[in-house]
Amino acid sequence: MRILVINSGSSSIKYKLFDMPAARLVSKGLVDHIGEKGSKFSNHYAGLKIILDEIKLVQAVGHRVVHGAEKFKKPVIVDQNVIKGIKKCCSIAPLHNPANLSGILACQKLLPGIKQVAVFDTAFHQSLPENAFIYGLPYEYYQKLGIRKYGFHGTSHEYVALEASRILKKPLNKLKLISCHLGNGCSITAIDKGKSVDTSMGFTPLEGLVMGTRCGDVDPALITHIMHKKKFDTKQMDRVLNKESGLKGVSGISNDMRLLEEKAIAGNKRARLAVDIFVYRIRKYIGAYVAVLCELDALIFTAGIGENQAGIREKICRGLFGCLGKKPKILVIPTNEELMIARQAYKLIGGN
Ligand code: ADP
């Protein structure tokens, strides 16, 4: 079965075509600058049309959808109700869900009768216990506004956990894992018997680790303080927290960890500070998640930094597990969110 996996962002569509169940990658590509001035793609429909002119014989489509809130705890076959549900989640994921939805609607028009499956970044974390997902805010904010920790990168964390179980030759329900997805966006998840029990990203992907351009955890009182001091409106504040902070903000150089590692080694103090803050925050979270899990079989590194930067992994792990009776395995596992989406779509549509 040929399954097309679509990752539809605000101005781009990335795709991979898989032959399932062999999991053979048939083709992949990217259309970008969608909706931008002067672009030949005025919308997602136009972008997808070009992709589908190139590839033939699509038998099913799997879509990455960022936010499924509490409604979507697992992948689902797209129908009118699912579309309504994804639309509802747009208010809490205004940057991502509208673009994901545009991809789904464009596919419905361009591939009539072909089954589509929505796979949610938040779904894997729906197993979090209440004590981990409720914030210390008035409880009615959760009840009325849906304010809680949702967590993201779920497809990646689930994929690497399954891979870890295969590599360690131990069933997932016998493993305690911590997975570190360290790319431009970074998150860390505690996985107990295959279930996410805590994760660093929160209501939005801004919480938790220091990332490429996102600040991660800060004192919440700082937001109003900075807005007052700098005379920022909410849009300006949001931009600083999401686009001008993290590695880029601290170093004043770049969000690219390869460059920062190079500069730090060459003696640049701000680059070294950015790397140190990045590493320190990850170590703190690992410590916290060891306390959540009580034991640890393996620590997993994935995504751009996690897969490729041995120096950063070494800094994170140095002396970290001396206090544990049994040292965990350290695994580097390349993530493959698209394959995970193809597998889930295949499983749902009738394959095994
Ligand atoms: P995202 O998918 O979140 O945009 P990536 O997983 O591609 O991010 O990770 C990007 C980060 O990984 C950057 O900080 C980059 O410097 C770092 N990195 C290190 N080595 C590589 C590599 N070989 N390819 C891509 N990114 C790399």
**Span from the CA of 185 to the centroid of ligand 1 (angstroms):** 9
Predicted model pTM: 0.95
Residue 96: predicted pLDDT: 85
Q: How far apart are CA 202 and CA 216, in angstroms?
A: 10
Nearest CA to ligand 1 atom 20: 308
Residue 36: predicted pLDDT: 87
Structure tokens at 254: 């770049």
CA 273, distance to chain mean position in Å, is 25
Q: Ligand 1 pocket, 308 CB below 6 A?
A: yes
| Cβ–Cβ under 8 Å, residues 213 and 246 | yes
What are the structural domains, with CATH classification, of the chain? 2-120 (3.30.420.40), 170-332 (3.30.420.40)
Share of the chain above pLDDT 90, in %: 85
Q: What are the backbone dihedrals phi and psi of residue 63, each rounded to the nearest 5 degrees, phi first?
A: -115, 135
Length of the chain equals: 352
Number of H helices, E strands in the chain: 14, 11
| Cβ–Cβ under 8 Å, residues 150 and 202 | yes
Locus of tokens 């304010």: 147
Enclosing H/E stretch for 288: helix 269-293
Give the DSSP per-residue string, 291-328.
Answer: HHHSS-SEEEEEHHHHHH-HHHHHHHHTTTTTTSSSPP
Q: Residues near 102 by Cβ (< 8 Å), separated by ≥ 6? A: 8, 43, 44, 45
Q: Ligand 1 pocket, 257 CB below 6 A?
A: yes
Structure tokens at 236: 């300006």
Strand 13-19 to strand 76-77: parallel, antiparallel, or no bridges (unpaired)?
Answer: unpaired
- The single residue of 79, 121, 198, 233 carrying the catalytic annotation is 121
Amino acid occupying residue 350:
G
Residue 323: predicted pLDDT: 72
Q: Ligand 1 pocket, 305 CB below 6 A?
A: yes
Q: Ligand 1 pocket, 247 CB below 6 A?
A: no
Structure tokens at 128: 């979090």
Residue 150: predicted pLDDT: 97
Atom of ligand 1 nearest to the CA of 308: 20
Q: Ligand 1 pocket, 256 CB below 6 A?
A: yes
> Catalytic annotation on 121?
yes
**What is the DSSP secondary structure assignment for residue 160, as one 8-state letter?**
H
Q: Ligand 1 pocket, 303 CB below 6 A?
A: yes
Residue 9: predicted pLDDT: 86
| Cβ–Cβ under 8 Å, residues 282 and 188 | yes
Give the helix, strand, coil percentages of the chain, each rounded to 5. 45, 20, 40
**Span from the CA of 331 to the centroid of ligand 1 (angstroms):** 18
Structure tokens at 338: 């698209």
Q: How far apart are CA 112 and CA 248, in angstroms?
A: 44
Nearest CA to ligand 1 atom 26: 304
Q: Residues near 335 by Cβ (< 8 Å), separated by ≥ 6? A: 156, 159, 160, 181, 302, 303, 307
Structure tokens at 239: 């931009």
Is residue 91 helix, strand or coil? Answer: coil
**Span from the CA of 58 to the centroid of ligand 1 (angstroms):** 30
Q: Ligand 1 pocket, 309 CB below 6 A?
A: yes
Atom of ligand 1 nearest to the CA of 247: 14
Beta strands in the chain (DSSP E): 2-8, 13-19, 24-31, 60-65, 76-77, 115-120, 176-182, 186-192, 195-199, 298-302, 329-332
**Span from the CA of 186 to the centroid of ligand 1 (angstroms):** 11
Residue 10: predicted pLDDT: 81
Q: Ligand 1 pocket, 185 CB below 6 A?
A: yes
Exposure string (b/e) for 283-306, b if CB count within 10 Å is 16 or more? eebbeebbeebeebbbbbbbbbbb
Q: What are the backbone dihedrals phi and psi of residue 11, each rounded to the nearest 5 degrees, phi first?
A: -130, 15
Structure tokens at 226: 């900075």
**Span from the CA of 336 to the centroid of ligand 1 (angstroms):** 14
**Span from the CA of 39 to the centroid of ligand 1 (angstroms):** 27
Residue 269: predicted pLDDT: 98
Q: Residues in the chain with pLDDT < 50?
A: none
Residue 72: predicted pLDDT: 96
Residue 351: predicted pLDDT: 67
Q: What is the dihedral of CA 105, 110, 112, 114, to 10 degrees?
A: -90
